Structure 1
Amino acid sequence: MTTGFIILTIAISLLKVIIASPPTFVVEWLLGKFALHSKLSEESATVTLSGKRLEGEEKTQFIRMFNEATFFDKYNEYNLPASKTGTPFIIDVNTGKRGVTLSVYIYSGHADVFKHGKKKTVAYSLRSESLQVC
């Protein structure tokens, strides 16, 4: 009886510690699931500009600049950008079962990103000095 009580107390204590302070990789995984501006990997992303696929160094450089960009503002349905001018970079990302398409419109002061998922579209703005050069 005493041994069972001690084992139960230790198990409950360990469970409480794990729930109260999960490991870093668990927290990063959970936050990554709900991140609006998630980081891209070269293996899972396809980048096109005017129907032409970017390959090699161009693709690597664009993905690096996109990942380094700072999230600035999320647009809601009432303050969407009025016009989408210019030719967008189209990024197709395949992560597991889900596929996401990003349309990136680059302007002089910022970049607008339209994230097209399966059921909804989300728009947000990025700040990046290096993306402005593209």
Structure 2
Amino acid sequence: MTWIWVISVVFFILKLLMSPPSALVAWVLRKFELHPELDSKDVTVTFNGKHLEEEEKIRFTDYFNEANFLKKHYIFPGNEKLFLNPETNITPFVINVKRGKKDVNFFVYSSDNHVDVVKQYKEKVVSYSLNSDDLINFTM
């Protein structure tokens, strides 16, 4: 009979920790999100080797944060360099973010109807597409 109470208390605590308003759940979701929301104070944005000015950087990160996620592109092992250095004549915007001890780089390639993002952190490379008219038409 006491095992039933112990198990029910454990399930109650787990349910309490995993409820939607829980800070633990929010932290876990932020840890594994593919398209994170960036703070313009923590990033540096470069285009063609030149840093964007402060108001352009703020506008670019706002557009990046407001962009809609379309789909994830699967990268097979060994093909990471094809995504990091594609054979196109499109110059990417490079976003560098420092989160704790980790450096995360985003390479943002704009095409006519979508935006491709290549995210590099540690040795991992992830690619996905965004829908954002503001990012497509962004000019300095």
Name the CA distance, whole Å, in 1 between partners of 2:54 and 2:106. 20
Name the CA distance, whole Å, in 2 between partners of 1:114 and 1:126. 11
Within 5 Å, which residues of 2 pair with 1:86-105?
86-105=90-109
Aligned in 2, Cα 1:124/1:17: closer, same or farther, shift over 3 Å?
A: closer
TM-score between both structures, scaled by the size of structure 1: 0.81
Q: How many residues align?
A: 127
One of 111, 120, 123 as aligned partner of 1:119:
123
CA offsets per residue over residues 62-120 of structure 1, 9 Å max, x none? 00000000111111126987744311000000011111111101111011111111111
CA offsets per residue over residues 2-24 of structure 1, 9 Å max, x none? xxx9xx98xx3762442352534
Q: Which residue of 1 aligns with 2:133?
A: 129
Quick check: which has more Rg, 1 or 2? 1
CA contact (8 A) 1:47 1:89 kept: yes
| Structure 1 portions without partners, runs of 5+ | none
One of 31, 35, 41 as aligned partner of 2:39:
41
State the SS of the aligned residue for 2:35.
coil
Name the CA distance, whole Å, in 2 between partners of 1:86 and 1:16. 49
CA contact (8 A) 1:84 1:105 kept: no
TM-score between both structures, scaled by the size of structure 2: 0.78
Q: Which amino acid aligns with 2:36?
A: S
Q: Which residue of 2 aligns with 1:67?
A: 65
| Structure 2 portions without partners, runs of 5+ | none
> Where do 4+ consecutive residues of structure 1 move more than 6 Å?
79-82
* Cα RMSD, aligned residues only: 2.5
Q: Percent identity over the alignment?
A: 41
2:19 is equivalent to residue 15 of structure 1: no
CA contact (8 A) 1:47 1:53 kept: yes
State the SS of the aligned residue for 1:40.
coil
